[in-house]
Amino acid sequence: MNRTAVVVETLDLDESGWLLDAQSGDPVPDHRLRDHFAEHIAPPASATDLFVYVHGWQTTPASALRAAERLMGLAVHRLASAPDSYPALSEAGFDPWCVVVRWPSSSAVTPAGYRSIRDRAHAMGARDGEGHAAHILGRLLGYLDTERSHPAAAPVMANRDGQYLHLVGHSFGCRFLCEAVQWAADARFVDTLGWSATEPGPTRPFTADSMLLFQMAAGRDAFLSLFPHILPGDGHDGAPLCGPVVTTYSRHDRATGFWHLRAEHQAGIGHSGIGPAPAPMFTTRLLPLDARYPHAALDHAFVNVDASDTYVRGRRLNPAGAHSDHIRPESAHLLLTLADYSR
């Protein structure tokens, strides 16, 4: 049975991307990371789907929490109102649990402010400098993977441990998630996600089941230039992601359109979709609630979803346009469909 209120937990990062203790505000020592996760974000055995949500630009901690709560709430309400649209979820049950990763993303709502947060996000996520976000998120994903409930304790038979794991990002938060899963593929820690090219085999772990990136703030070539190892089995080890990389875009997103074009000399994914990529992709549109996504539309390594007819609103006088207009029932419909097809 679905909960009436979705449980949403939070984790906070500092400007270097390191995890902060919520009570003291101090950095959590590396050797305490796993214990800290266990003490503060243990997913309940009753949850069927675990979500990791990383917010984007110009988002306060309180608004990040509200956005995740609203998106999860829309998904639960949508499933209850149209169960036939998600037959696997309806049959097995859908009880989501979500952890929101928050980071300092506020700046002036100007092109200069956008560039400053772009630079901060890059510095926080870069693995070749002082950024730690990829390390922290990689450890988080590994913790969630190893702590998923045993199938006998969960309402559905899901993956090795009984629960599905989904990654959801917005804006610059999408970059953090991509960095994290790519880092986890290269890292050799016991408690991170990993991948083995040998199948079947006892060393092959289960992985993230879907990645949904709303209005990603990165250049259209990011999956070649920044995240070339986001997919499994690409010649090194591949990232721990077995589902599709799904990105939404809207021509009304001025932050990743007009501003990104001037900052990086190309439009962003959130405005124009993924461009060149290391694997074939498919382009579709964000569907209304009364239309079901065909499995063939989402069963690809990369999927561009044109949301230009839906993501149209921006705050009054906000020059970012529809950059943050993704908390909608249609977004929940897409999220539920990915969860449904993960079964």
pLDDT for residue 316 is more than 80: no
What's the sign of the alpha-carbon dihedral 226, 177, 263, 306? positive
Domain boundaries, the chain: 7-341
pLDDT for residue 3 is more than 50: no
Q: Give pLDDT tens digits for 168-193.
A: 999 999 999 998 887 776 655 445 44
Looking at residue 4, its pLDDT comes to 46
Q: Give pLDDT tens digits for 277-291.
A: 988 889 999 999 999
Looking at residue 152, its pLDDT comes to 40
How far is it, in rounded angstroms, from Cα 222 to Cα 218?
A: 6
Global pTM value: 0.89
Residue 131 sits at φ, ψ, to 5 deg, of -80, 140
Report the SS3 class of residue 206.
coil
Q: Say if residues 292 and 143 touch (Cβ distance below 8 Å).
A: no
Window from 77-81, 240-244, 273-277, 295-299 with minimum mean pLDDT: 240-244
CA torsion, points 109, 175, 41, 130, in degrees to nearest 10? -90
